[in-house]
Amino acid sequence: MRNKILRFFSLSLLAFAITTVFTPQSSAQNLNFKIPPVKIPLTIKDQTVIITASAQISQAPKTREQNLFNLELRADLADLQQNMTALLSSALDKDAQCGDRIAIQSATLTPAAPTAIATVNLHYERWACAKIFGKQQVKRLVGGNATIPLSLTPSVDESGTSLRLLPELGPIQADGSLGELLRSGGVATTIRDKMQSAIEAAMQKAANLAATLPPVAQPYATIQSAAFQDAGNGRLVLLLDGQLRITKEQVQQLTKQLKDRVSGK
């Protein structure tokens, strides 16, 4: 009799344990997906620059109908840094007969987490044209070299899908009348806007979720914050933090698409 009672309780405990293990709460796993590096090409003056982006998706606490995942994207901008002179010269170089002439001599992009500093060394001249006794005369009004630093702070637009860079000019170094001209506002503002626009266009390539995430995840991913980071030895990295809301079925599709990507299908 005693053996029967013990056997009954043993079977009952076993049944309870099996039921507990396979309930939805206890069977929930902390799913993590590592997205292999993706090479994103960027063309600068007929030269291809590569931005390497990777991502990690980790499961957050579940909602009623959807699975919520945290998204971390990392973009290596080292190749872009090496081609900053070409990028900014394509945006700023100018050779007007009557007006401004700008030639970028060198340019750098360095980390100052959470911002980045773009610095250009340029040669600037302003020329004026006038007709004297019916003949066109060209005269240089001012000229010289200058160094212009620009701080760029990353932010995210209201939709949570696009990266923006907020620019702030630093102290301009230039001699004499050229320094006065550049600091007066108009010329410096134009240079600032063109620098910001060129670098932001490149960064948007790096932050393009469609270039990194599998197709099933792309429509449901949003960016919440962005920052630049020094990865060591001045190597600039863009970090994006966001979220991904997908259903249980889409999680299965995500798993399959990642397996297919790794296997090269």
Contact 198, 156 (CB under 8 A): no
- How far apart are alpha carbons 10 and 14 in whole angstroms? 6
CA-only gyration radius of the chain, Å: 28
Q: Please tell me what DSSP assigns to residue 99.
A: S
Token representation of residue 58: 């980790």
- What pLDDT is stored for residue 46 in this prediction? 85
Distance CA 206, CA 219 (A): 17
User: Smallest Cα–Cα separation from 80: which of 203, 162, 197?
Assistant: 203
Please give the structure tokens belonging to residue 193. 């806007």
pLDDT < 50 positions in the chain: 1-28
Where are the domains positioned within the chain?
31-265
Quote the pTM value: 0.83
Long-range contacts of residues 38-44, Cβ cutoff 8 Å, at least 24 apart: 38/211, 38/212, 40/75, 40/205, 40/206, 40/208, 40/211, 40/212, 42/80, 42/202, 42/205, 44/83, 44/86, 44/87, 44/90
Which tokens go with 8?
A: 């009954």
Residues 6+ apart with CB under 8 A from 29: 59
The predicted pLDDT at position 10 comes to: 44
The structure tokens listed for 66 are 């959807």
Q: How far apart are CA 253 and CA 219, in angstroms?
A: 14
* Cβ-contact 184, 174 below 8 angstroms: no
- d(CA 133, CA 91) in angstroms, rounded, equals 37
Question: What are the residues whose beta carbons fall under 8 Å from the beta carbon of 222, sequence distance 6 or more?
Answer: 159, 160, 161, 242, 243, 244
Per-residue pLDDT at 161: 87
Orientation of helix 176-183 relative to helix 186-206, angle to 10°: 60
**Residue 63's pLDDT is what?**
61
Measured CA angle at 53 (ends 50, 59), to 5 deg: 170
